[in-house]
């Protein structure tokens, strides 16, 4: 495990001790599913963020909605924090126990409850992962397209409003969650939404909980849109002389209205890292990794048009991957980009940030961000779901050198403020968590954040639901 970094940009750790009576009640209810050993607590007290925070006091494995409701009612009674835990793949400190409490692991709630192929919907428990769901749907000729890279739990993906490589065509979790089962801070079980494609009935509680990062309720069940597997799929890689040329190509593809399914940017640093990690032998230059879905004729037409655009901007070595094995090899390498980059600098930690901007401003945003990190001399990698204006920079720092952390934070701040200035967002998919709370105020404004606080206080008056995330009370 790489060394962690000290917690910054959040108040000093303010643990709320768990009373002995609460721990005894948890142990009596859950038995061996309630853990207080250090190894298990540390496992649930770290995510992919670089922060170093003391672990939760206990870890509880829920296997039913009743388990979740019992835990939350007990925590509400004793005013003890509860941090929902799915698969631990978040990047901004969402699952860290900054005020102590219980890590509530829902990974064992992993049943696919109902597949409605005729309506193109599926209902799953929160612990089901996207790969698990797609393995089951494949038998019916269907798939769920939201692909954040990691094999995240669908409850966690809903809680963080996840996006990913397919978002340019299929949208994010916001567009694909139809309804939820959830448990409130007081332990009340509720349902939001229906399997219908639209509704005008009351407040949209589904959208309120999607993206709430576990601060309002624990998601226990998710009803999702699903899609027919495309008749034809083809992937291609194309290399460019500069990052700017690759981004300009992307901008033209989107502005022409081409229905490309995936359009991913990897800079030369990232290609070099995945070559070392996955032994690919790719040309170490800025690369677009694209995928086309549709009928054989439409896929061929899209690919031809994209190839012509790329060539006009210096794109070379257009290479096709039309077999499932070849496509899987390429996309596996893309999904390994973060791990590959971290392993390229032994002992480092990665400070990551993402922004999303209007597609017409994507080139200037990326170019300026790259110029700044190059001038700073800090090792980095760049990847992006650039088809929807979203890109990620990862700064590789030595945890023993505070000045490198300071440089990474400064670069991240400049990148985010640039995005906000051109009417973008401080995070396209990572979420706010611990790291971006100040940026949320810059983006939404104090009145909007005050309204968010009011909602939080109304639904969770004892502030037990993942406290210290998104904003401070």
Per-residue pLDDT of the chain (473 residues; tens, 9 = 90+): 233 444 544 444 577 899 999 999 999 999 999 999 999 999 999 887 778 899 999 999 999 999 999 999 999 999 999 999 999 888 889 999 999 999 999 999 999 999 999 999 999 999 999 999 999 999 999 999 999 878 899 999 999 999 988 889 999 999 999 999 999 999 999 999 999 999 999 999 999 999 999 999 999 999 999 999 999 988 889 999 999 999 999 999 999 998 899 999 999 999 999 999 988 888 999 999 999 999 999 998 988 899 999 999 999 878 887 778 888 888 888 888 999 999 999 999 999 999 999 999 999 999 999 999 999 999 999 999 998 999 999 999 998 999 999 999 999 999 999 999 999 999 999 999 998 999 999 999 999 999 999 999 999 999 999 999 999 98
CA dist., res. 422 & res. 411, Å (int): 17
Reading the block at residue 266, the tokens are: 């990897």
Residue 2, class by beta-carbon neighbours within 10 Å (0-12 exposed, 13-18 middle, 19+ buried)? Answer: middle
CA dist., res. 342 & res. 170, Å (int): 30
256's CB contacts (< 8 A; 6+ apart) are 305, 309
| 82 phi/psi in degrees, rounded to 5 | -130, 130
CA dist., res. 155 & res. 158, Å (int): 5
State the Cα angle at 364 between 362 and 369, rounded to 5°. 95
Four-CA torsion 308, 312, 314, 315, nearest 10 degrees: -10
CA dist., res. 231 & res. 235, Å (int): 14
State the Cα angle at 439 between 436 and 443, rounded to 5°. 135
Q: How many CB atoms lie within 10 A of CB 118?
A: 6
């Amino acid at each position: 495990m790489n060394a962690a970094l000290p917690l910054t940009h959040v108040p000093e750790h303010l643990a709320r001790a768990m009373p002995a009576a609460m721990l005894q009640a948890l142990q009596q209810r859950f038995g061996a599913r309630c853990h207080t050993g250090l190894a298990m607590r540390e496992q649930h007290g770290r995510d992919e963020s670089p922060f170093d925070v003391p672990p939760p006091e206990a870890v509880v494995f829920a296997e039913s909605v009743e388990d979740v409701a019992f835990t939350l009612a007990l925590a509400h009674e004793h005013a003890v924090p509860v941090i929902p835990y799915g698969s631990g793949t978040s990047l901004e400190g969402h699952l860290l126990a900054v005020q102590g409490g219980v890590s509530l692991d829902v990974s064992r709630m992993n049943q696919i409850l109902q597949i409605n192929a005729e309506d193109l919907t599926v209902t799953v428990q929160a612990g089901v992962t996207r790969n698990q769901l797609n393995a089951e749907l494949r038998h019916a000729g269907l798939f769920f397209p939201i692909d954040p890279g990691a094999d995240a739990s669908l409850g966690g993906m809903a809680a963080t409003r996840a996006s990913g490589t397919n978002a340019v065509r299929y949208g994010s979790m916001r567009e694909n969650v139809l309804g939820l089962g959830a448990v409130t801070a007081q332990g009340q079980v509720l349902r939001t939404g229906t399997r219908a494609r639209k509704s005008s009935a009351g407040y949209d509680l589904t959208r309120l909980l999607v993206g709430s990062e576990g601060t309002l309720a624990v998601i226990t069940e998710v009803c999702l849109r699903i899609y027919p597997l495309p008749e034809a799929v083809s992937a291609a890689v194309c290399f460019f002389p500069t990052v700017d040329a690759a981004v300009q190509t992307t901008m033209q593809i989107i502005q022409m209205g081409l229905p490309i399914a995936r359009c991913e940017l990897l800079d030369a640093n990232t290609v070099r890292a995945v070559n070392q990690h996955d032994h690919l032998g790719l040309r170490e230059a800025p690369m677009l990794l694209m995928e086309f879905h549709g009928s054989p004729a439409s896929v061929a037409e899209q690919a031809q048009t994209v190839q012509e655009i790329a060539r006009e901007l210096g794109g070379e070595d257009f290479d096709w991957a039309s077999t499932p094995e070849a496509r899987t090899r390429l996309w596996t390498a893309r999904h390994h980009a973060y791990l590959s980059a971290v392993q390229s600098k032994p002992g480092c930690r990665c400070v990551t940030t993402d922004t999303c901007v209007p597609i017409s401003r994507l080139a200037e945003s990326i170019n300026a961000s790259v110029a700044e990190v190059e001038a700073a001399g800090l090792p980095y990698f760049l990847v992006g779901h650039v088809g929807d204006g979203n890109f990620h920079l990862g700064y590789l720092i030595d945890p023993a050198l505070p000045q490198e952390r300071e440089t990474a934070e400064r670069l991240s701040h400049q990148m985010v403020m640039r995005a906000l200035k051109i009417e973008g967002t401080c995070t396209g998919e990572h979420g706010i968590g611990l790291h971006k709370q100040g940026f949320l105020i810059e983006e939404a404004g104090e009145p909007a954040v005050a309204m968010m606080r009011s909602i939080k206080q109304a639904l969770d008056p004892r502030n037990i639901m993942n406290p210290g995330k998104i904003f401070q009370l």
